[in-house]
């Protein structure tokens, strides 16, 4: 699993490339949390068109991130999931935890609209 870090319009964009599973979830979590600072202004897009598979260990990592964002008053969304990963998210209820958008631009529009509320 490779992570990329970018920022667009003041929003952190984390790209996931490869498989997110038990073999790498711990390392991915450490890299992710060391590269993003979670606070009350955190706005994060997890961009996942390159994520070809997610296991329960990967879902656990997303749950930890969601919990931390909620505690800090931040916002996190998903974008660009392939069909197989999106199906896993829906079957496990993660679509109720993270809003999902077709691409980064749509996710940015949503986050910017939430700023105005």
Cα separation, 49 vs 15, in Å, equals 8
Query: Exposure string (b/e) for 84-101, b if CB count within 10 Å is 16 or more?
Result: ebbebbeeeebbebbebb
Would you state the CATH architecture of domain 2-115? 2-Layer Sandwich (3.30)
Find the mean pLDDT for residues 73-102: 94
pLDDT of residue 47: 98
- Contact criterion met (CB below 8 Å) for 45 and 108: yes
C-alpha dihedral sign at 72, 88, 47, 36: positive
For residue 117, pLDDT over 90 is answered with no
Angle of helix 25-35 relative to helix 56-72, nearest 10 degrees, comes to 20
Cα separation, 1 vs 6, in Å, equals 17
Cα separation, 104 vs 117, in Å, equals 20
Of 10-14, 68-72, 81-85, which range is least confident?
Answer: 68-72
For residue 27, pLDDT over 70 is answered with yes
Residue holding tokens 């079957």? Answer: 91
Find the mean pLDDT for residues 70-91: 93
For residue 107, pLDDT over 90 is answered with yes
């Amino acid at each position: 699993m490779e992570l990329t870090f970018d920022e667009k319009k003041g929003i952190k964009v984390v790209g996931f490339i490869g498989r997110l599973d038990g073999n790498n979830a711990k390392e991915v979590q450490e890299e992710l949390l060391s590269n993003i600072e979670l606070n009350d202004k955190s706005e994060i897009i997890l961009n996942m068109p390159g994520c070809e598979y997610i296991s329960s260990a990967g879902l656990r990592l997303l749950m930890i991130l969601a919990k931390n964002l909620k505690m800090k008053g931040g916002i996190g969304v998903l974008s660009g999931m392939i069909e197989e990963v999106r199906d896993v998210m829906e079957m496990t209820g993660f679509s109720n935890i993270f809003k999902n958008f077709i691409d980064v631009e749509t996710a940015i529009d949503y986050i910017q609209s939430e700023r105005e509320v």
